[in-house]
Structure 1
Amino acid sequence: MAGHPSRRGEGGGPPMSTGAAPAGSRAGVIDGFRGLAALSTVAFHVWQQYFRYDAQGSHPPVGNPVLNGVLSLEVIDLFFVLSAYLLTLSYARAAIDGRSTKPARLFLFRRAIRILPLYVLAVLVVWATRNPTLPGNWRDLVEHLTFTHVFDQQRIFYTLGPTWSLSLEVLFYLVLVALGPLAVRVCRLLRQRRSRVAVCAAGCAVLFVVPLVWIAVAHYVVGVPHTDWVVYFGPQARFGGFAAGMGLAVATAALGERGRLGPRTALPLAGLALAGLFALSLHSGPENFTFTFYHPIASALWVMLIFSTLHVRQQSFWQGLLTSRWLTAVGLVSYSMFIWHEPVMLQLHNAGLLPTGQAGFPLALLIVFVAAVPAATASYWLIEYPSSLLGRLKDSRGRPREFYPEPAR
Structure 2
Amino acid sequence: MSTRAAAPAGNRAGAIDGFRGLAALSTVAFHVWQQYFRYDAGGSHPPVDNPLVGAALSLEVIDLFFVLSAYLLTLSYARAAIDGRPLRPARLFLFRRAIRILPLYVLAVLVVWAGRNPSLPGNWRDLVEHLTFTHVFDQQRIFYTLGPTWSLSLEVLFYAVLVALGPLAVRACRPLRRRGSRVAVCAVGCAVLYAAPLAWIAVAHYGFGVPHTDWVVYFGPQARFGGFAAGMGLAVVTAALGDRGRLGPRAALLPAGLALAGLFALSLDSGPENFTFTFYHPIASVLWVVLIFCTLHVRQPPPWHRLLTARWLTAVGLVSYSLFIWHEPVMLQLHHAGLLPGGQAGFWPALLIVFLAALPVAAASYWLVEYPASLLGRLKDSRGRPREFYPGPAVSR
Tell me whether 32-41 or 281-290 shows the greater mean CA deviation.
281-290
Report 1:229-268 matches (<5 A): 229-268=215-254
Instruction: Give the SS at the match of 2:243.
Output: helix
Partner of 2:293: 307
Instruction: Name the counterpart of 2:324.
Output: 338
Q: 1:363 to 1:153 in 2, by over 3 A?
A: same
Match of 2:381 in 1: 395
Alignment of 1:9-158 (within 5 A): 25-52=11-38, 60-158=46-144
The answer on whether the counterparts of 1:33 and 1:331 sit within 8 Å (CA) in structure 2 is yes
Q: What are the equivalent positions in structure 2 for 1:181-196 lying under 5 Å apart?
A: 181-196=167-182
* Ranges in structure 2 where 5+ consecutive residues have no aligned partner: 1-6
Letter of the 2:167 counterpart:
P
Whole-angstrom CA distance in 2 between matches of 1:319 and 1:100: 31
8 Å contact from structure 1 (residues 24, 320) kept in 2: no
Q: Deviations over 1:2-43 (max 9, x none)?
A: xxxxxxxxxxxxxxxxxxx99962111000000000000000
Cross-structure match for 2:267: 281
Q: Unaligned 5+ residue runs, structure 1?
A: 1-20
Q: What is the deviation of 1:51?
A: 2.4
Shift of 1:61: 3.5
The residue aligned with 1:293 is 279
For residue 324 of structure 1, what is the aligned residue in structure 2? Answer: 310
Deviation at 1:58, TM superposition (A): 7.8
Shift in Å at residue 69 of structure 1?
1.1
Aligned residue-pair number? 387
The residue that corresponds to 2:367 in the other structure is 381
The SS at the match of 1:269 is helix
The separation in 2 between residues aligned to 1:43 and 1:284, in whole angstroms, is: 17
On the 8 A contact 2:146/2:328 being kept in 1, the answer is yes
Residues in 2 aligned to 1:189 and 1:284: alpha-carbon distance in whole angstroms: 47
SS in 2 for 1:240: helix
Select 1:223's aligned residue among 190, 209, 223: 209
Secondary structure of 1:224's counterpart equals coil
Superposition misfits of 4+ residues, deviation over 4 angstroms: 21-24
Q: Secondary structure at the match of 2:304?
A: helix
Aligned to 2:197: 211
Q: For residue 282 of structure 1, what is the amino acid of its counterpart?
A: L
SS of equivalent residue, structure 2 residue 382: coil
Write the distance in 2 (CA, Å) between the matches of 1:315 and 1:194: 29
Determine the C-alpha separation between the residues in 1 that align with 2:306 and 2:255.
Answer: 17
* CA shift for structure 1 position 52: 5.0
Partner of 1:286, secondary structure, is: coil
| TM-score, normalised relative to structure 2 | 0.95
2:165 is the counterpart of 1:179: yes
Question: For the Cα contact (< 8 Å) 1:24–1:323, is it kept in 2?
Answer: no
User: Which residue is equivalent to 2:391?
Assistant: 405
Deviation at 1:50, TM superposition (A): 2.4
One-letter identity of the residue aligned with 1:341: H
Task: Pick the structure with greater CA Rg.
Answer: 2
Question: Paired residue for 2:4?
Answer: none
3-state DSSP class of the match of 2:386?
Answer: coil
Partner SS, residue 258 of structure 1:
coil
How far apart are 1:272 and its partner, in Å? Answer: 1.0
1:354 is aligned to 2:340: yes
Deviations 1:78-107 (A, max 9, x none): 000000000000000000011011000000
Q: CA deviation at 1:284?
A: 2.1
State the identity as a percent. Answer: 86
Letter in 1 for 2:239: A
Alpha-carbon RMSD:
1.5
| Alpha-carbon distance, 1:71 to partner | 1.3
Match for 1:154: what amino acid?
Q
Q: Which shifted more, 182-191 or 312-321?
A: 312-321
Structure 1 residue 53: Cα displacement: 6.2
Report the AA paired with residue 147 of structure 2: G
Give, in whole Å, the separation in 2 of the partners of 1:166 and 1:363. 30
Supply the AA of the counterpart residue of 1:309. T
